[in-house]
């Protein structure tokens, strides 16, 4: 079981490393669904490990070597939790890969749009400068009109 799990993890690692930087929406959704399924599986495995441990621990009280039985139950629980942890780790690796890909796509899009945004910002700055200049002109005109009225 462990060897199979390790082989799967290695295969996924190689597959993720060889995949192109961009994925289609369907591929992203498939990966997200896979990660969600693995998260759920890990949760179920943890719950099962806890429930099995509780049952085995309770059953130990009917045996002659209670402590030895409880230690065995703890070891089995630790193994089961380790398996669950590995499944959760695979799910987190997929989540991390998706986040990296989304970030890379976002960064590429921002780089692509940067010249247009810069041009838009320059255009807006020019409009703001003109508006300010017009406002200053209106204020100056009103000041001159007020001076003329006061002088007459």
Q: % helix / strand / coil in the chain, to the nearest 5?
A: 90, 0, 10
Across residues 107-132, what is the average pLDDT? 94
Tokens of 136: 């200053």
84-119: per-residue pLDDT in tens? 999 999 999 999 999 999 999 999 999 999 999 999
Separation in Å, CA 140 to CA 58, 146, 147, 148, 151: 91, 10, 11, 12, 17
**Alpha-carbon Rg for the chain in angstroms:** 33
Interacting residues of 12 by C-beta distance below 8 A, sequence separation 6+? 90, 93, 94
| Confidence bin at 147 (pLDDT 50/70/90) | confident
2-25: per-residue pLDDT in tens? 555 444 555 555 454 554 567 888
pTM of the model: 0.61
């Amino acid at each position: 079981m462990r060897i199979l799990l390790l082989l799967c993890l290695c295969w996924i690692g190689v597959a993720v490393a060889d995949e192109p930087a961009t994925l289609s929406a369907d591929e992203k959704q498939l990966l997200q669904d896979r990660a969600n399924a693995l998260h759920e599986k890990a949760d179920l495995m943890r719950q099962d490990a806890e429930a099995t441990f509780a049952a085995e621990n309770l059953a130990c009280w009917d045996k002659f070597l209670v402590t030895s039985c409880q230690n065995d139950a703890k070891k089995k629980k630790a193994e089961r939790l380790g398996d669950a942890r590995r499944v959760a780790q695979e799910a987190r690796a997929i989540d991390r890969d998706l986040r990296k890909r989304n970030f890379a796509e976002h960064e590429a899009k921002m780089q692509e749009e940067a010249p247009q945004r810069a041009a838009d910002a320059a255009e807006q700055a020019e409009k703001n400068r003109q508006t300010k200049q017009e406002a200053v002109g209106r204020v100056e005109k009103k000041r001159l009109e007020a001076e003329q009225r006061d002088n007459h």
